[in-house]
């Protein structure tokens, strides 16, 4: 009999949530995480209704609600005009909480459910499938280690090293562009997001908890906005809004791209989260989608383990279909904020109105 029912590779938000769900249902779970410290990169901020339902199921919905900022609505602007106003219905809330805080809440929950479930400093290097188990090879701070599990869930992120070894393809899909981003203090942060779909490219402004604001700017062709002055100047030139930036502010750049695994199961191994699909951050869906998949996967695993091999075909079908839909939506949002000549800007303004 394998040592564990489920071994999860990666303690990102998706792996952590899955671990909580499975432990709550009494399965024997271990999470291998290569890092020894917390990942403090501020990536995801938006939590949508399905994501919130998943966090409720994992037992941290109340904590997330109490720390998060509740977005009241949004506004789409172009050339200094408001094109559309949106108010979020009370039953479809959008919460804003930086990813490091969400992950910290998930880690505490996991720790409370099972103090020894996570092995930190444990990099999984190889998977070998046998008839009744997966044999896992890992490098740990104390040397090499071998583990066995009935099912292995690979949630090791977009640059997954293990996906290739499973002979699973990784296909590029529409939607690719470079952006710069900065989170800063803002005393008048409010509770509304503003999207400026400007001829020179998108500018997004999102309120964050604790009197902070995120600015995201789409880079023009060949444009590098990592210098504070260039970042501020681009926002002002495109929107007319002058922002104050502290001298030590450092905008970061990222390339939004979209990929999808050609399949998400291979025998007893399952791909989950960004390892299965990269969704452009424009539209903010990657983490939420990973959680929704985790809830669906947990229910299949709990139904069968430890006695039987889970039936995963239905899970796989849903996971691939929802990733494809999310990528189409994100590609559309990205096209609405692409730099464009005036005739295109005018037609997209008509589309948004
Ligand atoms: C700028 C930006 C903004 C975003 N905004 C949003 C948003 O608003 N809403 C949203 O839903 N999504 C958003 N996303 C996407 C979101 O950040 C990701 O979808 C999310 O982090 C995916 O979580 P994950 O657990 O699948 O992977 P990751 O967070 O990448 O975690 C993978 C983990 O696996 C570990 N690992 C890797 N290899 C190994 C190994 N071999 N052995 C052991 N451990 C390993 C890593 O150390 C890491 O801890 C955004 C992304 C970016 C870049």
Q: Quick one: 85 exposed, middle or buried, by C-beta within 10 A (0-12, 13-18, 19+)?
A: exposed
Q: What is the pLDDT of residue 353?
A: 85
| Residue 91 clears pLDDT 90, i.e. is over it | no
At which residue do the structure tokens 């809004």 appear? Answer: 241
**pLDDT above 70 covers what percent of the chain?**
100
Domain range enclosing 270: 4-69+99-172+257-335
Alpha carbon of residue 83 to chain centroid: 28
What's the rounded Cα separation, in Å, for the pair 111 and 120?
A: 12
Q: What is the pLDDT of residue 284?
A: 79
Residues facing 30 on adjacent strands? 7
| Residue 7 clears pLDDT 90, i.e. is over it | yes
Q: What is the pLDDT of residue 222?
A: 86
Distance 274 CA to ligand 1 centre (A): 6
Average pLDDT, the chain: 96
Kindly state if the Cβ of 35 falls inside 6 Å of ligand 1.
yes
Q: Which of 136, 155, 157 to mutate to test the pocket of ligand 1 (most atoms within 8 A of CB)?
A: 157
Q: Mapping DSSP to helix (H, G, I), strand (E, B) and coil, where does residue 75 land?
A: strand
Per the structure, how many domains does the chain have?
A: 1
Residue 226, domain member (yes or no): no
Summarize pLDDT for 227-254 with one digit per residue, the tens: 999 999 999 999 999 999 988 899 999 9
Question: CA geometry: angle at 244 spanning 239 and 250, to 5°?
Answer: 95
Question: CA geometry: angle at 114 spanning 108 and 116, to 5°?
Answer: 100
The CATH number of whichever domain residue 47 belongs to comes to 3.50.50.60
Residue 74, domain member (yes or no): no
Residue 234, domain member (yes or no): no
Contact by Cβ (8 Å): 258, 330? yes
Residue 279, domain member (yes or no): yes
What's the rounded Cα separation, in Å, for the pair 47 and 18?
A: 17
Summarize pLDDT for 125-181 with one digit per residue, the tens: 999 999 999 999 999 999 999 999 999 999 999 999 999 999 999 999 999 999 999
Q: Which two tokens stand for residue 155?
A: 């949630």
What's the rounded Cα separation, in Å, for the pair 160 and 230?
A: 34
User: Could you count the other beta carbons within 10 Å of the beta carbon of residue 90?
Assistant: 7
Q: What is the pLDDT of residue 282?
A: 93
What's the rounded Cα separation, in Å, for the pair 75 and 206?
A: 11
Residue 93, domain member (yes or no): no
pTM, two decimals, is 0.97
Q: What is the pLDDT of residue 102?
A: 98
Distance 284 CA to ligand 1 centre (A): 12
Tell which phi-psi region holds residue 171, choosing left (phi > 0), alpha (psi between -120 and 50) or beta: beta
Residue 318, domain member (yes or no): yes
Residue 352, domain member (yes or no): no
Residue 88, domain member (yes or no): no
Summarize pLDDT for 302-327 with one digit per residue, the tens: 999 999 999 999 999 999 999 999 99
Residue of the nearest CA to atom 2 in ligand 1?
43
């Amino acid at each position: 009999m394998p040592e564990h029912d489920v071994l999860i590779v990666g303690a990102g938000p998706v792996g952590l949530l899955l671990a909580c769900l499975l432990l709550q249902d009494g399965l024997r779970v271990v999470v291998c995480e290569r890092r020894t410290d917390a990942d403090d990169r501020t990536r995801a901020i938006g939590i949508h209704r399905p994501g919130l339902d998943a966090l409720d199921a994992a037992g941290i919905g109340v904590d997330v609600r109490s720390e998060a900022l509740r977005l009241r609505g949004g506004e789409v602007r172009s050339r200094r005009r408001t094109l559309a106003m949106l108010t979020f219905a009370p039953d479809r809330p959008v919460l804003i909480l930086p990813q490091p805080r969400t992950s910290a809440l998930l880690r505490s929950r996991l720790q409370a459910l099972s103090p020894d479930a996570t092995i930190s400093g444990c990099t999984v290097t190889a998977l070998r499938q046998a008839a009744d188990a997966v044999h896992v090879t890992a490098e740990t701070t104390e040397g090499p280690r071998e583990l066995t599990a009935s099912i292995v869930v690979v949630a090791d992120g977009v640059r997954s090293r293990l996906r290739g070894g499973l002979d699973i393809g990784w296909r590029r899909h529409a939607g690719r562009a470079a952006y710069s981003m900065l989170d800063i203090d803002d005393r008048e942060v409010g509770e509304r997001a503003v999207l400026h779909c400007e001829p020179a490219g998108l500018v997004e402004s999102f309120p964050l908890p604790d009197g902070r604001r995120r600015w995201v700017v789409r880079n023009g062709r060949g444009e590098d906005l990592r210098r504070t002055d260039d970042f501020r100047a681009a926002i002002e030139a495109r929107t007319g809004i002058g922002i104050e930036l502290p001298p030590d502010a450092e905008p970061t750049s990222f390339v939004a791209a979209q990929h999808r695994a050609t399949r998400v199961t291979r025998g007893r191994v399952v791909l989950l989260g960004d390892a299965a699909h990269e969704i452009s951050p424009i539209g903010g869906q990657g983490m939420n989608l990973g959680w929704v998949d985790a809830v669906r996967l947990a229910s299949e695993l709990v139904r069968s383990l430890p006695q039987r091999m889970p039936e995963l075909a239905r899970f796989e079908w849903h996971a691939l279909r929802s990733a494809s839909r999310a990528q189409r939506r994100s590609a559309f949002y990205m096209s609405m904020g692409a730099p464009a000549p005036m005739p295109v800007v005018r037609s997209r303004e008509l589309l948004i109105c």
